[in-house]
Structure 1
Amino acid sequence: MGTITKIQPDCQNTSLTKEWSLEGLLQKGKRFFPVPRVSAVAGGQSLEGTLEQYDRNTTPLVIEDWHKHVGWLGQKFNLEWFREHGQKDIAVRNVHDWSDHTVPLEEFTKYCRSAPHFVIPGETVRWYGKDAQCPADWDQWLHKSGVIPSRLLPDDSRNCLTNLPKSAAVETLMCYLGIGDTFTPCHKDLCASSGHNLMCYTENDGSSFWFMTKGSDALEVAKYFRTLKQELDHEMHVVTIEELARAPFDVYVTQQKLGDLVLVPPRSCHQVVNYGGITIKTSWSRMTLNSLAVALHHELPMYQRVCRRETYRIKSTIYHTLHRFRVELEKISTIGYPQFRRRLDVTKRTRMFT
């Protein structure tokens, strides 16, 4: 059937980023476009309108300038602060052989500051810190400061993952620490969820290059990967610039810098490559009603085909979400026009899962 059975990415194809620039990359493909951007400090109406439009389409978006916001966490978004207040150990991945290790956070930070910013000949070790627990103060700032729009937050009621009981709760809020030429292979976020990635600290001009597709192009991307004798949902292929340039779909490119919040639409295929000095990114996921429907009808059958865990327990989330709707409806004692409209809306939404 031509299915790829590799157990680690083809790391030899990792692009060296030393000569990269956003302007240069955009010129390498006829279907390369910059990711749309909006400023976090440009005014509430502008941002709110852009977010409403983002929710209606499947194109990636960057909200920039959060570090210029008066409510930015400031000195707490700092590597030393993270080291003192975070976990003592961190999970790291060596991108040269895809081996995973756990090392003291202090040792990892010393390594990041002493390692070359770019791969050098004969190099065998390049660590990428992943899935680190978000410090409590950062978590509190995200949820309580009122800086990031509530509709984007993990605890917003529109995030269906919040309907799960505590015993089944899924933690998606994590931190990632990297240096130049560390990367994440091309992938989609789990179970058609919406991704959010905030660059909260950098050193020595550290940044990250993102290569992204529209969520609506997921099937086309999967077909293209098979022509490369790869399986997109194995998340094992580090796609090259040349392969992206030949792709039969649009590719959106951006350079994520300090204060940039990258919004990843459901089913958007994306690859992230770190550049230069140290970066710390805070990442989380949300699951909307539309995401649940897409996951049920499209992602779960695909996961079964490639023998992959679903992680977010979609059917359980649907059950608890519908249970919440039922409880809300029972609380409506009198049906006025607004409540009637709400009932119709809930009824319409439940049909998404049949």
Structure 2
Amino acid sequence: MGPPPRARFEPFPVDLEIDEIVKNTPNFSFAPRIHCDAINEHPKHIFEELIRLNVVMKGVPLVIEGYQSHLNKHLFSRLFLQRSDRRENVRDLVKKESKPMSVSHYVRCLPTLTRSHFRKTERPQRLYLKDIDCPAEWQESLKSLLPPSLFYMNEGPHPYSGPGSDPLPGPDTPTYLETEGQDGKPGNLIARSGDLMSCLPEEMRAQNLMCYIGHEGTYTPAHQEMCASLGHNIMVEASQGHMENGEPTKPGSSIWLMTETKERQVVSEYWSSMLGHNIDIEDHFAQMKAWQAAPFHTYVVEQKPGDLILVPPLAAHQVWNRGTRTMKVAWNRTTVETLKMALDDALPSARMICRDEQYKNKAIIYYALTHYSGLLKNKTSLQHSEVVNLWKDFENLFSLYTDILLSESLSPALEPAKDDIELIKFEGNVVCSYCRCNIFNRFLTCPSCPVGEDDSYDICLDCYVLGRSCKCISGLRWVEQFSWEELRSKHESWRKQIIAMAKEIDSKSRKDQHVPLLSARSMLKWKPIAEICQKQLKIRPWVDIKALNSSPKDKSKSISPSGDGDGDDSDDDGSQPRKRRKLRNGNKEEGMDSCHMCRNIIPSWKLAACSGCNLKYCYAVLFCAFDIQPEEAMGQSHWLCPRCEKRCNCTPCQRDPAMKPHEPKHILLGHDTRKIADPRSVESLVNLRMSNWRWIPNLEANSARRLQQRLADIETKRVETCKENDILMNQTSSVMGKEGGDGSAGITEDPDAIPVDPSLLTLPYTGPVEDDEHPVGNGSAIS
């Protein structure tokens, strides 16, 4: 069975009645809204808790409306842009190419571009001025208007004049440091950073304050915010339907369709199984019918001027622009909570598709700890709410830092000599040559590959375990960007600081879990990723690329799970795999063995051996058929194979009545990374261009069942999490906006609790998808 047909692009109609659609679609509702003036009615920490609990932790989008009356009408206007002489690249969404154009010319052409969408006989253009740098004047104006905790690159409190700027009596007033500034006034304020990106040195920060100017028919495909960050988007101006320069205009707005954070896995499965697209690639704008037929809840927003939308981390969303003109400013913020989501979820997904990690998440953790440690050393009152909140973030950041160091810990038995480890200065600019993710400290570099200027082949530890590397396969050297002793010393210093403060602060401290790094290393149940790399460097063969380039293809190339293609496959185009003669078990060559599933004879280092029955499975089969990452099998001292666990899905094992064949939970469409990765790269263990459709029985007929099961698993996990954290179910009290069934936001009485919604509303899927090239037939729910 092959992959499903890919759903085609279908524009939203110009006369779309979004209110009627939401009213008549069970799994649609408008996103919660609060008015910006309501911020004035409550202390600052209440507002910040509303955002943290409902948007970040609970993962529900929120709209803060009413800013249009506070915006500078002369500054945020088309006339301001028409006076600009800037040239930008305008994105042609139809031809998928960029065109250089002046901003003023583009703005003047918006009425003409819009009219083409109302004339059905014409093929409309979709020219979107997106991802351009925000004008400095706009940035300063928004900085003076929005609460600092929400704004871009915020390091701490600063004066502003917008809603919520009037100080209220209470514990939310920030505390000054004991030290004084050079002018004799109190020093910096003690408070958490609204955006932890601000803790990085300026040259390492990712600039993400962007403007988006569009017209009817321009759109942003379904996607998630980069690195699980918290998204912000405010519409600063739009056409009002009036005559402009003698030309009629259409009222401007944007239609947003958004999901919740907790349903990200269901959304990903739906995109793969039903629509035939990978949502991580961000290349598909789903049809309205696809959203209506989805088995998850969708929040809808019609964004108009003055609406500030907060997008939860990892929540899928897409945007459709309407009318003659929409002008928006967008940015992202990184918090302690989003950093954990990035390390656990976003970065592993980005690594698979080789998406650049621009935010340097691990470096943010290190520098944020340094910044917060300095603030806490100059505390004035440990009982102050700001100090307590800052200390909690410091403690959570320290836990993330511990996990990073543990993952990079080497085995003492295999640790290379200090002279064999190259030490370079950390400047935040080292990225993996394969996956393009930023490397914080330890990585591997190849001394054998030919290099140009600043073009060494560097591979991150996660990629190397997955089988990604240069063609040399092994013989790589270790590189550090920090002295290991320096990192351990900071870890111990911060650990002692946390324990000392925990004795004075009355909170639910986890101080008993903060043990010295060596003790934490001894308690690990899994081998760290760095130790796995050490062992793999010992068993993987070194390939002389000079000899390889002058001789026939290397005989050690792996065989794909289907048994008829190369796993490395670095030189062919992957369109038609070559057939390969299979060797009988009795004729195994030295260093070769057979895979229990695919029955192919391949090098032993590409096989995982079971500690129970000594059967061997190739890592490619484990990855595709059993959802087992190579790291999982390599990281266990006593690994049990799927057959011993009674879940093997090969034909002979299925004859055993006690066997419950495993059905892959994750659908892999296959992604060709060769267009992005360094051309010297190979995949020696897992061929990510292959899909796992053959391992999923009757996928087309069982897709709805799989999605419902995934939803049930999410609900079960949610309930268990609530019980573990003693969270009260469905007991919330409103502090801002209206409460009840109108979708308004609420906040729990317990500031450490997570508000919980009732069960999800779903609309069952009613048929397969189709596209122009692969018509499915009658009964399609998505045309």
Question: What amino acid does structure 2 have at the position aligned with 1:65?
Answer: G
Question: What amino acid does structure 2 have at the position aligned with 1:347?
Answer: E
Aligned residue in 2 for 1:17: 13
Report the Cα distance in structure 2 between the residues aligned to 1:290 and 1:239, rounded to whole angstroms: 29
Report the Cα distance in structure 2 between the residues aligned to 1:45 and 1:244, rounded to whole angstroms: 37
Aligned residue in 1 for 2:373: 326
Using structure 1 for the length normalisation, give the TM-score.
0.89
- 1:171-186 equivalences under 5 Å are 171-186=207-222
Aligned residue in 1 for 2:261: 215
Structure 2 residue corresponding to 1:259, chosen from 289, 303, 306: 306
Work out whether 1:127 is the aligned partner of 2:174.
no
Aligned residue in 2 for 1:77: 76
- CA deviation map 1:45-80 (0-9, x unaligned): 3696565323212110111110123xx212111011
Larger displacement relative to structure 2 (264-273 or 47-56): 47-56
Report the Cα distance in structure 1 between the residues aligned to 2:79 and 2:322, rounded to whole angstroms: 20
Question: What amino acid does structure 1 have at the position aligned with 2:139?
Answer: D
Residues 206/51 of structure 1: CA separation in 2 closer, same or farther (3 Å cut)? farther
Question: What amino acid does structure 2 have at the position aligned with 1:296?
Answer: L
SS in 2 for 1:13: coil
Aligned residue in 1 for 2:226: 190
Aligned residue in 2 for 1:65: 66
Structure 1 residue corresponding to 2:34, chosen from 20, 38, 44: 38
Residues 121/27 of structure 1: CA separation in 2 closer, same or farther (3 Å cut)? farther
Unpaired runs of at least 5, structure 1: none
CA RMSD of aligned residues (A): 2.5
Report the Cα distance in structure 1 between the residues aligned to 2:390 and 2:107, rounded to whole angstroms: 51
Aligned residue in 2 for 1:232: 279
SS in 2 for 1:44: helix
Work out whether 1:141 is the aligned partner of 2:141.
yes
SS in 1 for 2:152: coil
Residues 99/54 of structure 1: CA separation in 2 closer, same or farther (3 Å cut)? same
Are the aligned partners of 1:40 and 1:65 in contact in 2 as well (CA < 8 Å)?
yes
Structure number with larger C-alpha Rg: 2
Question: Shift of residue 345 of structure 1?
Answer: 5.4
Question: Shift of residue 16 of structure 1?
Answer: 2.9
Aligned residue in 2 for 1:347: 395
Work out whether 1:276 is the aligned partner of 2:277.
no
Identity of paired residues, percent?
29
Question: Shift of residue 306 of structure 1?
Answer: 1.6
Residues 2/148 of structure 1: CA separation in 2 closer, same or farther (3 Å cut)? farther
Structure showing greater relative contact order (alpha-carbon pairs closer than 8 Å, 6 or more residues apart): 1
Question: Shift of residue 233 of structure 1?
Answer: 0.5
SS in 2 for 1:180: coil
Using structure 2 for the length normalisation, give the TM-score.
0.42
- CA deviation map 1:79-115 (0-9, x unaligned): 1112324x51122111212211121122212221222
- CA deviation map 1:296-337 (0-9, x unaligned): 1111111111221122121221221122233334445x8855
Are the aligned partners of 2:197 and 2:205 in contact in 1 as well (CA < 8 Å)?
yes
Aligned residue in 2 for 1:165: 201
Are the aligned partners of 2:81 and 2:104 in contact in 1 as well (CA < 8 Å)?
no
SS in 1 for 2:100: strand
SS in 1 for 2:289: helix
- 1:302-321 equivalences under 5 Å are 302-321=349-368
Report the Cα distance in structure 2 between the residues aligned to 1:241 and 1:258, rounded to whole angstroms: 24
- 1:38-117 equivalences under 5 Å are 38-42=34-38, 44-45=40-41, 49=46, 52-56=49-53, 57-69=58-70, 72-85=71-84, 88-117=86-115
Question: Shift of residue 348 of structure 1?
Answer: 4.0
Question: What amino acid does structure 1 have at the position aligned with 2:277?
Answer: Q
Question: What amino acid does structure 1 have at the position aligned with 2:288?
Answer: I
SS in 1 for 2:264: helix
Work out whether 1:206 is the aligned partner of 2:207.
no
Report the Cα distance in structure 2 between the residues aligned to 1:23 and 1:345, rounded to whole angstroms: 41
SS in 1 for 2:37: coil
Report the Cα distance in structure 2 between the residues aligned to 1:263 and 1:253, rounded to whole angstroms: 13
Residues 37/303 of structure 1: CA separation in 2 closer, same or farther (3 Å cut)? same
Work out whether 1:294 is the aligned partner of 2:341.
yes
Report the Cα distance in structure 2 between the residues aligned to 1:261 and 1:17, rounded to whole angstroms: 25
Question: What amino acid does structure 2 have at the position aligned with 1:41?
Answer: D
Report the Cα distance in structure 2 between the residues aligned to 1:34 and 1:46, rounded to whole angstroms: 25
Larger displacement relative to structure 2 (266-275 or 156-165): 156-165
Number of residue equivalences: 343
Report the Cα distance in structure 2 between the residues aligned to 1:340 and 1:171, rounded to whole angstroms: 30
Report the Cα distance in structure 1 between the residues aligned to 2:196 and 2:396, rounded to whole angstroms: 16
Question: Shift of residue 122 of structure 1?
Answer: 4.0
Question: Shift of residue 29 of structure 1?
Answer: 2.5
Are the aligned partners of 1:38 and 1:50 in contact in 2 as well (CA < 8 Å)?
no
Aligned residue in 2 for 1:285: 332
Residues 148/345 of structure 1: CA separation in 2 closer, same or farther (3 Å cut)? closer
Report the Cα distance in structure 2 between the residues aligned to 1:327 and 1:259, rounded to whole angstroms: 38
**Relative to total residues, which structure has the larger helix share, 1 or 2?**
1
- CA deviation map 1:121-173 (0-9, x unaligned): 44253201011221121111111x2x211210113222110011011121111
Report the Cα distance in structure 2 between the residues aligned to 1:28 and 1:336, rounded to whole angstroms: 53
Larger displacement relative to structure 2 (249-258 or 147-156): 147-156
Report the Cα distance in structure 2 between the residues aligned to 1:288 and 1:241, rounded to whole angstroms: 33
Report the Cα distance in structure 1 between the residues aligned to 2:285 and 2:59, rounded to whole angstroms: 23
Residues 282/15 of structure 1: CA separation in 2 closer, same or farther (3 Å cut)? same
Report the Cα distance in structure 2 between the residues aligned to 1:336 and 1:138, rounded to whole angstroms: 38
Question: What amino acid does structure 2 have at the position aligned with 1:350?
Answer: F
